[in-house]
Amino acid sequence: MKMGRDWHLLPPELLQVIGNKVTSLADYIRFRAVCHPWQSACSLRPDHLPLQLPWLMPPYPSVGQVVSLQLNPITRATISLPLFSGPLSTIGIVPLHAINPENFFDNSQAHEYSISPTDIVMVRKAILTSSPLDRSCIVFVFTYSVWSLAYCKIGDECWKVIEFEFDFPWGGDFCDITYSNGFLYTVSPFAAVTMYNLNNRSRTLLGGNVNLIGIHLVEGVSGDILLIHDRPIYVNGNLKETEHTVYKLSNDGEPVWIEVIDVGQNVLFLGSDYNALSLSSANLQFPEWGANCLCYDSVRTEKWNPEENFDSWYNHNIKLAKLDNGMVTDITGDLGSFQVNELWQRSLWLTPSLL
C-alpha cells in the first residue's frame, strides 16, 4: 500500500525557507493555514512580502443591511483612539479667514466644538502618517461634525482640532486631505491648497489656479502633491463613464497646479470620494503593470430611478488608463451591479498587509 506524504512533518527550517519564497499575501495566508506545524513555523507578520496590489471593497447595499468591519480585514487588528465625544483641545492654528486672529482663541470656547455622545459622526477620510505599530504615528480624521479636521497620536487621550469655521454652504472649506513629509495638506472645492505645519502651528495658502469640482488629493511616491480631477459623464441622466485629469503642485516659484501626463513611477488608484492612493510601480507585487497609470473603478448606471436614488443600480469594472497616451484597458470585466445610494456608488481601495 502506498503511503501518503507526511507534509506536516517537514522541518520548521525548511518551511520557513519555503514561506519566505511566497510573494503573494493571499498565498502566504493559505500556506500558513495548511496545518498547525506550518502555521507555527512561519511568522504571523512577515517582512519579506513585496508591496501588494490594493484590494477593492465594493459598495455595500444601503437598504436593509448593515455591514460591520474591523480596522484590518485580514488580521482583525484595531487601534485604540479617543472617543469623538470625549475631551478635545486646539492646536492654536487660527483660521485664515478669522476676523480678529489675534483674539480668536480668547473668544472661542472648547464647548463650541464638542460632540455629544448622541451625535452621529461620519468619518469622510482617515489617514495615518506611518504604521500604527509606530508610537509616533499620527491619525488625521476628516469628518462631518462641528469640527471637520482633527488629529491625535497613537495613545493620546483626546483629539486636537484644527479647523473651526466653514466657508462654503455645502459643508467645509476643504474637500480632501493628504500628508507628506511632515506637512498636512487640505484642498478646497476649487483646488486651493493649504499646508499645515503642526510643529510651529502655522498654515500657508498654496496654489489654487484651477476651478474644479470632484477632486482627490494624494501624495506621490516621491513626495509630490498630486490632484486627480474626476469628471463623470452623464447621458440622459445616466452615468456612462468618468474622465480623469492629473495635476501636480509646482514647487518652482509661486505654487500652482500644472496638468501632467507623466507622474513617473506612480500608479494611482482612484475609488470613492476621498479615496485615492499612489504606489510605486517599482515596489509592486506585479511590476509588469508599469508606471504612469491610473487604475480606477469605472461606474455606470444600470438602473436609475430619479424619484428615489436608493433604487438605483450601478455596474462596476476596473480599468487601467495610461496617462501618457490615454489608452484604457478593462482589467477585470464585469464585477456586477450594486443597489446603493447615489452618493456612495464607488468602491474603496485598501492596501492589504499583515504588519
Question: Using one digit for the tens of pLDDT, what is the confidence trace for 250-281?
Answer: 877 777 888 899 998 889 998 877 788 898 88
Predicted structure pTM score = 0.80
| pLDDT > 90? residue 139 | yes
The stretch 210-231 carries a mean pLDDT of 83
- Phi, psi dihedrals of residue 17, rounded to the nearest 5°: -65, -45
If you count DSSP H runs as helices and E runs as strands, how many of each does the chain have, helices first? 3, 21
Mean residue pLDDT of the chain comes to 78
CB 97 within 8 A of CB 166: no
In this structure, of 82-91, 123-132, 219-228, the range with the lowest mean pLDDT score is: 82-91
- Phi, psi dihedrals of residue 73, rounded to the nearest 5°: -70, -5
HEC profile of 82-105: CCCCCCEEECCCCCCCCCCHHHCC
Percent of the chain at pLDDT exceeding 70:
76
- Tell me, what DSSP letter sits at residue 3? P
Which among 161, 247, 249 has a CA at the least distance from the CA of 205? Answer: 249
- The reported pLDDT for the residue numbered 254 is 76
Instruction: Report residue 40 as a C-alpha cell.
Output: 507555527
- The reported pLDDT for the residue numbered 99 is 64
| pLDDT > 60? residue 31 | yes
- H or E stretch at 61: none
Q: From CA 269, how far away is CA 274, in angstroms rounded? A: 12
Instruction: Report residue 287 as a C-alpha cell.
Output: 511590476
350 exposure class (CB count in 10 Å sphere: 0-12, 13-18, 19+):
middle
Instruction: Report residue 209 as a C-alpha cell.
Output: 489656479
Strands 176-180 and 183-187: antiparallel
Quick one: angle between helices 12-19 and 25-32, nearest 10? 160
Rg (Cα) of the chain, in Å, rounded?
Answer: 23
Q: Using alpha carbons only, give the angle 171, 184, 292 rounded to the nearest 5 degrees.
A: 100
